[in-house]
């Protein structure tokens, strides 16, 4: 048996194992350890098998993990041998229905919100069934009756347009079954792509569709999974809303969540828990302690009459998203054309600029019937292709200004349009028409100063 991957020294390599053996320590030993620079106490964790030799990793009393270098001066005192740490949930638990609470369906796709830490590989892996999430967050029993279903078990970077279509069809089926709301457990990295795509793929929504994720896995003390699930379930079950939205933490204090429109939201930080922002506008509203407050009246409400939610029939997967940068080669655009891509979204610099060197290739794409949409990589603001001569030339070529669509939203919208429409005039009209709040008439006065805009709203909600 290789002790570096299993047994008493999971993930550790020869140098570390030699020192641990000297003091009778092994994985899951509670120890006091002293080195030249520190003294600490914790439980020895299995080591990431790809990590370098010469370290021990321990879990501190506060729940955080640290790596400590081992050498000839290290002293270890073994205090006890602890059982192997595992986060266990009973996926077969019987969930009693409360007739006074809304009925919600949670569709699982994977991601950190439904993951745990694999100590041996050091990776966060999709592991929990959605029903196990309910067991992990018992407060949900005070919010809703929750049914669960697994659609995918993937990290969000592995999401594909064809999965959006499958998810949309699942949502339509569940919505038409009579549930009061739908939750989508999703990885945060591409949750904004999916929320945008579902906003276009679903029509005649009659209940909220709330995408929710977490920045930190459920087995970590700092996890935001529980509060995000509770907030999202509150919105899905109780909000007078019939749109696709994203519900995630809204402040560094982690005391409330925001409700972001599915076509105007973006992940703006790689790791903080309040990473999501509404772009060019403020969030639709917020949720705190089971209460929902909307900041605007500009949202779709639950219909008074029963209607049928419909999912689109098709989606186009061969859509390219190209960011402009200094020195970009026209060969990149030619590549997409040669490979038979059906649509292109450009994320241009400034007001929607691309180098003049690419114009011939862009014209070739348009001449071959490929819709090309210009957006801005600045995130906030509109395309302004009438301001400078190159922008006017690109419009003459046939490049379509995407107004203030976020690049990934334009990508999802074009996937939906080209999967379901063929007429070039209708395609161009749909691209430039506000379908699901993806285009705003003008940037809010608080658009760029988004945090100040939100803070101004929250100041009026002291009693909320």
Please count the other Cβ atoms lying within 10 Å of the Cβ belonging to residue 423: 9
pLDDT band at 2; cut points 50, 70, 90: very low
Note whether residue 443 is domain-resident: no
Beta strands in 151-271 (DSSP E): 181-185, 202-203, 209-212, 244-249, 257-261, 265-267
pLDDT digits (tens, 9 = 90+) for 178-234: 999 999 999 899 999 999 999 999 999 999 999 998 887 655 556 777 889 999 999
Same domain, 176 and 198: yes
Tell me: do 300 and 343 sit in the same domain. Answer: no
Last residue within a domain, chosen from 250, 276, 311:
311
pLDDT above 90 covers a percentage of the chain that reads 65
The answer to whether residue 299 sits within a structural domain is yes
The residue-averaged pLDDT of 430-448 equals 82
Average pLDDT over residues 36-65: 86
The total of structural domains in the chain comes to 3
pLDDT of residue 260: 97
User: For residues 171-205, b (16+ Cβ closer than 10 Å) or e, as one string?
Assistant: bbebbbeebbbbbbbbbbbbbbbbbbbbbbbbbeb
Which pLDDT value is given to residue 11?
Answer: 85
What is the phi-psi region of residue 117: left when phi exceeds 0, alpha when psi lies from -120 to 50, beta otherwise? beta
Same domain, 162 and 293: yes
* CATH code (residue 221): 3.40.50.1170
Range picked from 36-50, 303-317, 450-464 for highest mean pLDDT: 303-317
Q: Is 298 found in the same domain as 203?
A: yes
The Cα–Cα gap between 439 and 280 comes to 10
Positions marked catalytic: 112, 188-189, 267
Q: 152 and 279 share a domain? A: yes
Domain containing 67 equals 7-81
Q: What is the pLDDT of residues 281-290, one digit of tens each?
A: 889 999 999 9
At residue 462, does pLDDT exceed 50?
no
Q: Is residue 438 part of a domain?
A: no
- How does pLDDT run across 219-253, given as a tens digit for each residue? 555 677 788 999 999 999 999 999 999 999 988 77
Beta-carbon contacts of 347 under 8 Å, excluding residues fewer than 6 positions away, are 321, 322, 323, 324, 375, 376, 377, 407
Name beta bridge partners: 150. Answer: 108
pLDDT at residue 221, rounded to an integer? 55
Residues 140, 196, single domain; the answer is: yes
For residues 287 and 387, membership in a common domain is answered with no
* Measured distance CA(293)–CA(305) in Å, rounded: 24
Mean pLDDT, range 140-166, rounded to an integer = 90
Q: Do 28 and 86 contact (CB within 8 A), yes or no? A: no
Establish if 60 belongs to a structural domain: yes
Same domain, residue pair 378 and 240 = no
Q: Verify that 195 and 299 share a domain, yes or no.
A: yes
Q: Extract the runs of DSSP E, i.e. beta strands, from 240-386.
A: 244-249, 257-261, 265-267, 276-278, 285-288, 291-294, 310-311, 319-323, 343-348, 372-376
At 253-275, the pLDDT tens digits run 788 999 999 999 999 999 888 88
Judged by average pLDDT, the poorest of 55-69, 335-349, 413-427, 445-459 is 445-459
Any idea what the CATH number is for the domain that residue 64 is in?
2.30.30.520
d(CA 165, CA 416): 9
Q: What is the DSSP letter of 47?
A: P
Pick from 138-147, 213-222, 289-298, 304-313: least confident:
213-222
Cα angle 251, 186, 182 (rounded to 5 degrees) comes to 90
In a domain, 97, yes or no: no
- Which of 132-136, 325-329, 383-387 is predicted least confidently? 132-136
Tokens coding 1: 């048996």
The pLDDT tens digits of the residues spanning 106-145 come to 998 876 666 655 555 455 555 555 566 666 677 888 899 9
Q: Specify the pTM.
A: 0.81
448 domain-assigned: no
- Segment holding 27, helix H or strand E: none
Q: What is the mean pLDDT of residues 84-99?
A: 66
- Supply the pLDDT for residue 174: 97
DSSP 8-state class, residue 453:
H
On the 0-12 / 13-18 / 19+ scale of CB atoms within 10 A, 96 is: exposed
Domain shared by 166 and 293, yes or no: yes
What is the predicted pLDDT for the residue at 460? Answer: 53
Instruction: Report how far apart, in Å, the C-alpha atoms of 179 and of each of 19, 69, 134, 168, 191 are.
Output: 58, 54, 17, 15, 23
Rounded to an integer, the average pLDDT of 422-449 is 85
Is position 388 within any domain? Answer: yes
Nearest Cα to 45, choosing from 19, 91, 84, 96?
84
**Burial profile 46-72: b = 16 or more Cβ within 10 angstroms, e = fewer:** bbbbeeeeebbbbbeeeeeeeebebee
Q: Are residues 214 and 360 in the same domain?
A: no
| 113 secondary structure, DSSP code | G
Same domain, 20 and 108: no
- Residue 4 pLDDT level (bands cut at 50, 70, 90): very low
For residues 63 and 89, which has the higher predicted lDDT (pLDDT)? 63
Residue in the structure block whose two tokens are 């301001």: 387
Out of 258, 292, 311, pick the residue that ends a domain: 311
Please say which residue of 264, 281, 311 terminates a domain. Answer: 311
pLDDT at position 154 is: 83
pLDDT at 148: 84
227 in a structural domain = yes
User: In the chain, what's the furthest Cα-to-Cα distance?
Assistant: 77
Residue range 331-381, pLDDT digits in tens: 999 999 999 999 999 999 999 999 999 999 999 999 999 999 999 999 889
């Amino acid at each position: 048996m290789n002790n570096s991957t299993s047994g008493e020294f999971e993930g550790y390599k020869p140098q570390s194992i030699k020192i641990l053996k000297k003091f009778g320590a092994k994985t899951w030993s509670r120890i006091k350890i002293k080195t030249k620079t520190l003294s600490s106490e914790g439980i020895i964790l299995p080591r990431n098998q790809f990590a370098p030799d010469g370290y021990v990793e321990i879990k501190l009393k506060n729940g955080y993990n640290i790596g400590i270098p081992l050498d000839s001066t290290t002293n270890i005192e073994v205090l006890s041998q602890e059982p192997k740490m595992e986060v266990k949930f009973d996926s077969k638990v019987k969930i009693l229905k409360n007739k006074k609470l809304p009925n919600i369906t949670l569709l699982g796709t994977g991601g950190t919100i439904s993951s745990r830490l694999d100590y041996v590989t050091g990776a966060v892996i999709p592991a929990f069934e959605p029903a196990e999430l309910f067991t992990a967050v018992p407060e949900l029993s005070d919010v809703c009756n929750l049914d669960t279903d697994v659609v995918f078990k993937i990290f969000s970077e592995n999401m594909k347009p064809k999965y959006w279509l499958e998810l949309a069809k699942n949502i339509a089926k569940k919505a038409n079954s009579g549930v009061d709301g739908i939750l989508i457990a999703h990885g945060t990295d591409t949750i904004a792509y999916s929320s945008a795509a579902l906003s276009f793929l679903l029509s005649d929504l009659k209940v909220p569709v709330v995408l929710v994720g977490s920045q930190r896995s459920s087995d970590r003390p700092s996890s935001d999974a529980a509060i995000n699930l509770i907030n999202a379930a509150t919105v899905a079950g109780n909000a007078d809303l019939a749109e696709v939205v994203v519900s995630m933490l809204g402040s560094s204090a982690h005391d409330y969540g925001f409700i972001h429109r599915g076509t105007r939201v973006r992940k703006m930080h790689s790791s903080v828990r309040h990473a999501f922002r509404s772009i060019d506008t403020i969030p639709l509203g917020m949720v705190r302690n089971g209460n929902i407050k909307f900041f605007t009246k500009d949202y779709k409400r639950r219909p008074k009459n029963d209607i049928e939610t419909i999912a689109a029939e098709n989606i186009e997967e061969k859509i390219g998203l190209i960011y402009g940068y200094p020195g970009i080669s026209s060969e990149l655009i030619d590549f997409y054309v040669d490979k038979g891509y059906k649509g292109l979204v450009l994320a241009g610099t400034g007001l929607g600029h691309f180098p003049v060197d690419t114009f011939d290739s862009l014209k070739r794409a348009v001449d071959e019937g490929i819709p090309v949409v210009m957006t801005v990589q600045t995130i906030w603001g509109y395309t302004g292709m009438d301001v400078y001569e190159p922008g006017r030339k690109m419009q003459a070529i046939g490049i379509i200004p995407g107004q203030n669509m976020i690049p990934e939203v334009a990508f999802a919208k074009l996937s939906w349009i080209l999967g379901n429409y063929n007429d070039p005039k209708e395609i161009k009209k749909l691209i430039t028409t506000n379908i699901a709040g993806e285009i705003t008439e003008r940037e809010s006065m608080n658009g760029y100063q988004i945090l100040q805009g939100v803070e101004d709203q929250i100041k009026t909600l002291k009693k909320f």
